[in-house]
Structure 1
Amino acid sequence: MRVLLVEDDHAIVRALTDLLEGEGFTVRSCATQDGACAALAAEDFDIALLDVTLAQGNGFAVCAAAREAAPEMPVIFLTASDDEFSTVAGLDLGAADYIAKPFRARELLSRIRAALRTRASGVQELVAGNLSLNPSSGQVRKAGRELYLSALEYRLLLFLLQNKGRIITRDQLGDALWEAAGEYVSDNALNVYIRRLREKIEDDPANPVIVTTVRGVGYKVAE
């Protein structure tokens, strides 16, 4: 698997290259927008990891070039933990996922493998009832109408839909949102995120049928 890493922090490039090559990936790194766009035009990649802010250009332009050069290739944005605007903008451009800096190695590897599995399976949309999420475009629709979620709400729904049919513990959700929020997510905060998400995706938020509670354990999206 070939990875395009677009990042201008040399320390991060070295660390990620060592990590990914140790897991069997081949890494091509670029520090600028022009260099990344040239690499996309000349080479084939399986996945791209893009920093938003670059010394020359930005990750958004690289993502647009990636969508043109290889529409099915997943893109993961590397974003500042408090930069929700960049996160939402990246998802709107068709990024498959995002991960906040600083990130944990195992979480990044898990996100990369999940994005590659989604591409390999040919899954275009994640569906639950009349709700759909398109990882390629970042769009969420309910009964054909587009919903507008915050970055945390999107990350929460994506994680739940990717694990459809499984019981997800509150600790697992907390870990997933820790990466998105850049800070510890308390039980009370998790309750708030779940409530806000249900208000947008459920017909009757007081009696949810998409994201249901498994008492004493966590949550589940039914098959």
Structure 2
Amino acid sequence: MQLLVIEDEPGIARFLKQGLEEEAFTVTVATTGPEGLALAQQQAFSLLLVDWMLPGLTGLEVCQQLRAARVGTPLIFLTSKDTVADTVAGLQAGANDYIKKPFHFQELLERIRVQLRPAAEPAERFAVGPIVLNVATHQVHRDGEEIALTQKEFALLEYLLRHKGKVCRRQSIIEHVWDIHFEYSTSVIDVYMTALRKKLKLSKEDEYLQTIRGIGYVARD
């Protein structure tokens, strides 16, 4: 599988290229935002690893322009930014995941493998209130208007809707949506839920996706 690494720090770029090639990936490296954007648009990559701070265009701008051009290649941000606002901005731009610097290579490798696993697409539709999710077409609509979600946002919403009316515990969500079966912080779920609610235009008064404090989430009509 071919990966594109967009990273301007030579040491990190070499580290990623060597480590990923040892795992049998083919790796192309770009060192600026415009170079990476052009490569991602011109070639078919299995996944993009994008540094947030890049010369020419930021990683966020690269992601936004790719999604605007309907390039749906899975994208993972490499970033030293750690605020919730930055994380939400990245996810709303269309990133599939993010990993904070410094990171362990094995964690990055597992996140890459999760993104590259094929998603099942049974012909099923689920709904809660005005929100309709179609698994077969991978589309979500609210009141007839299509809502663009990232792959992980779609998977999270699908999991909640499949279990509508039942409380989905945080650990269960991280295991089924992120396919992580070891001890891992579930705070990433909160970040995705914030982004998901904003995209679905859910106000504080809407109760379609409820937080069960200290336990998890539930979808209810």
Q: TM-score, normalised by structure 1?
A: 0.57
Cα drift, residue 163 of structure 1: 9.0
Taking the aligned partners of 2:106 and 2:131, their CA distance within structure 1 comes to 30
Change (3 A) 1:78 1:128: farther
Cα drift, residue 48 of structure 1: 0.5
SS in 1 for 2:34: helix
Cα drift, residue 103 of structure 1: 1.3
Change (3 A) 1:122 1:13: farther
The aligned runs of 1:3-18 (5 Å cut-off) are 3-18=3-18
1:116 aligns to 2:116 (yes or no): yes
Taking the aligned partners of 1:7 and 1:95, their CA distance within structure 2 comes to 16
Taking the aligned partners of 1:108 and 1:132, their CA distance within structure 2 comes to 33
Partner of 2:66: 66
Identity of aligned residues (%): 38
Cα drift, residue 132 of structure 1: 8.8
Change (3 A) 1:67 1:160: closer
SS in 2 for 1:60: helix
The aligned runs of 1:1-223 (5 Å cut-off) are 1-68=1-68, 71-118=71-118, 121=120, 174-175=184-185, 177=187
Change (3 A) 1:7 1:163: farther
What is the CA deviation profile of residues 30-62 of structure 1, one whole-angstrom value per residue up to 9, with x for unaligned ones? 111111122123322111111111133201221
Equivalent residues, number: 189
SS in 1 for 2:99: strand
SS in 1 for 2:19: helix
Taking the aligned partners of 1:33 and 1:83, their CA distance within structure 2 comes to 22
Taking the aligned partners of 1:106 and 1:74, their CA distance within structure 2 comes to 18
- Name stretches of at least 5 consecutive residues in structure 1 with no aligned partner: 135-139, 145-155, 182-199
What is the CA deviation profile of residues 170-198 of structure 1, one whole-angstrom value per residue up to 9, with x for unaligned ones? 6xx735659x99xxxxxxxxxxxxxxxxx
Taking the aligned partners of 2:93 and 2:45, their CA distance within structure 1 comes to 18
Change (3 A) 1:65 1:169: closer
- Name stretches of at least 5 consecutive residues in structure 2 with no aligned partner: 135-139, 145-151, 163-167, 175-183, 192-201
Aligned Cα root-mean-square deviation (Å): 4.8
User: Partner letter of residue 80 of structure 1?
Assistant: S
User: Partner letter of residue 60 of structure 1?
Assistant: L
Is the Cα contact below 8 Å between 2:170 and 2:186 reproduced in 1?
no
Q: TM-score, normalised by structure 2?
A: 0.58
Is the Cα contact below 8 Å between 1:79 and 1:86 reproduced in 2?
no
